[in-house]
Structure 1
Amino acid sequence: MTAERREIEPIDGALSPTLNITDKASDGVPAGEELQPGSFPLRLHRICVGAIFFMHGLCFASWASRIPSIQENLNLTAATLGTVLFALPVGFFISLPFAGWFVGKVGSKKVVVLSAVLYALSLVSIGTASHALTLFFCLFSFGFFANLLNISINTQAIAVERLYKKKLMASFHGLWSLAGFTGAAVGTWMIGNGFAPFPHYVLICIVFLVANVVCSFYLVKKDEGLDEKRPLFAMPDKPLIGLGIIAFCSMMAEGAMFDWSGVYFIKVVNVEEEFTGLGYTTFMIAMAGMRFMADGLSGRFGLKRILQASGVMTTIGLLVAVLMPRMMTSLVGFFLIGMGVSSVVPLVYSAAGKSKTLSPGTALTAVSSLGFMGLLIGPPIIGFIAEVTSLRISFLAITIMSLAVVAFSSLMRDEQKS
């Protein structure tokens, strides 16, 4: 039977090419059968991609929740731990060009299945580390495979968006954020019941591998724009560079919140020690919750307006936290910051995946490379400014990045709403 092709209209008018997706029996749908949003095969695609997003976040949160245990077990000083932890972003960053090339060459489904296995096993390897040097290499591989899975599963998310003909990316990222809370809760329970990191990580690994096997049957088989002959490095066009700059600015603010929120509440808000994590928790709750709403809002108001609103909301939140550094007002500020940064990265990734010049995996790599640089350099810059001036001034400086999100998103063409 000859496979039938159908044409799907662009989701994001100015950013999206016309897409051709082939219906094949091997994709779990009989050839020529129309896939309708909400149909059972489509729901399976969406559920399984969402499950991998969740397991990715659970795996990462499981590692992070046991950092104090690993530091104590290996008797690492703060300086040594800081050096060792740097291996993870190094592995993540080095994998960026390879991830886009590999996804473009063999397809995101195969890369998801392979990288999920390696990512889960690398988590277990962290639990076996007996020395700072071995932990360094384990974290390097953990970061490398984490990003390989990151690029490939985001490419799958773009494919599901195309099949559904609507935005879904932010909700997938919301599942990743939700997994962060789950992983932290599981880690706390494991610590409270005396489990070492190794059996904890083995349990997470087993759950991940089982989920990976089940989901492997229902991932989207064929990527749009698959290019088996593409080079390892490809130059992004101006629209992608613009999206990358927006991601860079937003992730600088995001990275600052990840690393400095607790310090801010101690040094500036002057809370008691038991309330140190309130700011970060408030930020994460707002971030996770807003991601489940962002797709619908973007479909109603358009990508450009949502990005502009995100930058404005982040700016207002920062100003509230800096100008009124009391417990309740700072929590309100951090909540607004979480809402502001929540939608930027998933919506920018979704737009990048509709590039007219590069395959989804390659386009995602280009944008995420710029964004990740912001995540890396944001916290050190905040520390440098705080050393020279004060922590309040350094947080105020982040508003430059949030206003840049507004400025660069204002340069985008208006898109049709979906």
Structure 2
Amino acid sequence: MSEQVVSLSYPKQYLRLAVGAIFFLPGLIFASWASRIATIQQTLHLSDAGLGAILFSIPVGLMLSLPFAGWFISHIGSRKLAIIGLLVYAIALVGLGAAPTVPLLITCMVLYGFASNTVNIAVNTQAVATEKIYGKPIMASFHGLWSLAGFGGAAIGTLMIGKSIIPLHHFVLIFTAIMIGLAICQRYLLDDSTPAEVGPAFVLPDRPLIKLGIIAFCSLICEGAMFDWSVIYFKKVLNAEGAWMGAGYTCFMCTMAMGRFVADWFAARFGLKQILQLSGLLTASGLMVAVIFPHLYTAMLGFLLVGFGVSSVVPMVYSVAGRSKTMSPGMALAAVSTIGFVGFLIGPPVIGFVAQAFSLRMSFILIAVMGLCVTGISSKVKL
């Protein structure tokens, strides 16, 4: 993003609201899809193994987007990329609801994954620029809006299921809401499409960016584990029944959202390094509480701590990466996001392998080590 593009013809609060909206909207898309996976599985008569294999199409699409994201940012700017990406993301959501066959579903999933990461990098680039204008940490609050949209999208999905509304009609409704929101907020986003000396489409990240990527990698392993294994942990290790199986996941999601709304204040008061160090310790401590004391309420407490621990790591890392002196904000974010997302991808299957070889509790100890790595590496990074 060009450093010259800092003057606004409207109050900066409008910019913050607009950027907050383009964080909320993709969160709504993500949660809407997640809430209807089981319905689509039933409609297409997919087995659990078949669904698992098909779901891998989304990270495939995401990985395919990584080589292009930096190029898109540098040539058309994050504002246009966010608008186009959100449009494609919403269209892909409708496609997921309309797909009558597995091959078409896979195609839409690849497009969905491609668009989701493109939007992720574009909106975070806008957030970095907004944070520069405000001159104080505000990145985590934007990510908090994404989490808040997750709750809203899940609630809408539950309502749609209760009313027996098919996914296609549900997703068309969400598409309409996305288009209305985008039409309102797009005019207030920072226009960074002015041609500049954009340089090559891809540059190897320097050592500080690699370290930031590794911090994101370790934290996203923990975050991915909570998404994919928290319910299983409560079911198999704690022998939780009924709604209690989801208690750990709910605790984690609540504190992750809450943590993102307060992380900026703490970062401004105590510094990014201290927040990252504390985040790693909270993550490790929460997981160890759940492992050492495998009982319902102690595990819930542990998962509450894990939610607070992972909440601010990725937003803070993105904030620092966006201020890179060696790469443009968009390309720096693409580089860090590439390294970090590998952790999100490999974490859940590695946990499965460790659980199969030893136990699920042992695999959670491995995740706790990743939390300690966040603390250790953050201590050595200049922030």
Once the 2 structures are TM-superposed, how far is the Cα of residue 233 of structure 1 from its aligned partner?
A: 2.1
Q: How does 1:109-258 map to 2 (within 5 A)?
A: 109-222=79-192, 229-258=198-227
Which structure has more helix as a fraction of its residues?
2
Q: Distance in 1 between matches of 2:285 and 2:171?
A: 40
Determine which structure has more spread, i.e. the larger CA radius of gyration. 1
Q: Partner of 1:278 in structure 2?
A: 247
The answer to whether the 8 Å contact 2:351/2:364 transfers is yes
Q: Which one is further off, 96-105 or 198-207?
A: 96-105
Q: Distance in 1 between matches of 2:339 and 2:252?
A: 23
Q: Partner of 1:359 in structure 2?
A: 328
Answering whether residue 375 of structure 2 is matched by residue 394 of structure 1, we say no
Q: Distance in 1 between matches of 2:204 and 2:164?
A: 50
Deviations 1:320-349 (A, max 9, x none): 000001010000000000100110000000
Q: Partner of 2:66 in structure 1?
A: 96
Q: Partner of 2:29 in structure 1?
A: 59
Deviations 1:96-148 (A, max 9, x none): 12112101111101111111111111110111111111101101001101111
Once the 2 structures are TM-superposed, how far is the Cα of residue 232 of structure 1 from its aligned partner?
A: 2.9
Q: Distance in 1 between matches of 2:241 and 2:276?
A: 36
Once the 2 structures are TM-superposed, how far is the Cα of residue 23 of structure 1 from its aligned partner?
A: 5.1
Q: Distance in 2 between matches of 1:337 and 1:301?
A: 20
Q: Which one is further off, 285-294 or 125-134?
A: 125-134
Deviations 1:263-313 (A, max 9, x none): 000111111132111110100000000000001111111111110000011
Q: 2:344 aligns with which of 358, 363, 375?
A: 375
The answer to whether the 8 Å contact 1:58/1:182 transfers is yes
Once the 2 structures are TM-superposed, how far is the Cα of residue 228 of structure 1 from its aligned partner?
A: 5.5
Task: Kindly provide the amino acid, as one letter, of the partner of residue 233 in structure 1.
Answer: F
Q: Name the SS of the counterpart of 1:217 in structure 2.
A: helix
The answer to whether the 8 Å contact 1:171/1:291 transfers is yes
Q: Distance in 2 between matches of 1:43 and 1:56?
A: 21
Q: Partner of 1:50 in structure 2?
A: 20
Deviations 1:63-82 (A, max 9, x none): 00000100011111111111
Q: Distance in 1 between matches of 2:82 and 2:365?
A: 40
Q: Distance in 2 between matches of 1:48 and 1:382?
A: 38
The answer to whether the 8 Å contact 2:5/2:191 transfers is no
> What percentage of residue pairs aligned between the two structures are identical?
53
Q: Partner of 1:81 in structure 2?
A: 51
Q: Name the SS of the counterpart of 2:205 in structure 1.
A: coil
Task: Kindly provide the amino acid, as one letter, of the partner of residue 300 in structure 2.
Answer: L
The answer to whether the 8 Å contact 1:159/1:223 transfers is no
Q: Distance in 1 between matches of 2:192 and 2:124?
A: 14
Answering whether residue 9 of structure 2 is matched by residue 28 of structure 1, we say yes
CA RMSD of aligned residues (A): 1.4
Once the 2 structures are TM-superposed, how far is the Cα of residue 28 of structure 1 from its aligned partner?
A: 2.6
Once the 2 structures are TM-superposed, how far is the Cα of residue 20 of structure 1 from its aligned partner?
A: 4.1
Q: Name the SS of the counterpart of 1:412 in structure 2.
A: coil
Q: Distance in 2 between matches of 1:365 and 1:295?
A: 22
Q: Partner of 1:321 in structure 2?
A: 290
Q: Distance in 2 between matches of 1:368 and 1:296?
A: 24
Task: Kindly provide the amino acid, as one letter, of the partner of residue 73 in structure 1.
Answer: T
Q: Distance in 2 between matches of 1:223 and 1:171?
A: 25
Once the 2 structures are TM-superposed, how far is the Cα of residue 229 of structure 1 from its aligned partner?
A: 3.9
Q: Distance in 2 between matches of 1:398 and 1:107?
A: 37
Q: Partner of 1:294 in structure 2?
A: 263
Task: Kindly provide the amino acid, as one letter, of the partner of residue 104 in structure 1.
Answer: S
Q: Partner of 1:307 in structure 2?
A: 276
Task: Kindly provide the amino acid, as one letter, of the partner of residue 94 in structure 1.
Answer: L
Q: Structure 1 stretches of 5 or more lacking a match?
A: 1-18, 30-40
Cα–Cα, structure 1 residues 394 and 92, in superposed 2: closer, same or farther, change >3 Å?
A: same
Cα–Cα, structure 1 residues 368 and 23, in superposed 2: closer, same or farther, change >3 Å?
A: closer
Q: 1:72 aligns with which of 42, 51, 54?
A: 42
Once the 2 structures are TM-superposed, how far is the Cα of residue 22 of structure 1 from its aligned partner?
A: 4.0
Q: Distance in 1 between matches of 2:328 and 2:258?
A: 30
Normalising by structure 1, we get a TM-score of: 0.89
Q: Distance in 2 between matches of 1:172 and 1:155?
A: 12
Q: Partner of 1:330 in structure 2?
A: 299
The answer to whether the 8 Å contact 2:211/2:377 transfers is yes
Cα–Cα, structure 1 residues 223 and 307, in superposed 2: closer, same or farther, change >3 Å?
A: farther
Once the 2 structures are TM-superposed, how far is the Cα of residue 54 of structure 1 from its aligned partner?
A: 0.5
Q: Distance in 2 between matches of 1:198 and 1:20?
A: 43
Q: Which one is further off, 271-280 or 54-63?
A: 271-280
Normalising by structure 2, we get a TM-score of: 0.97
Q: Structure 2 stretches of 5 or more lacking a match?
A: none
Task: Kindly provide the amino acid, as one letter, of the partner of residue 9 in structure 2.
Answer: G
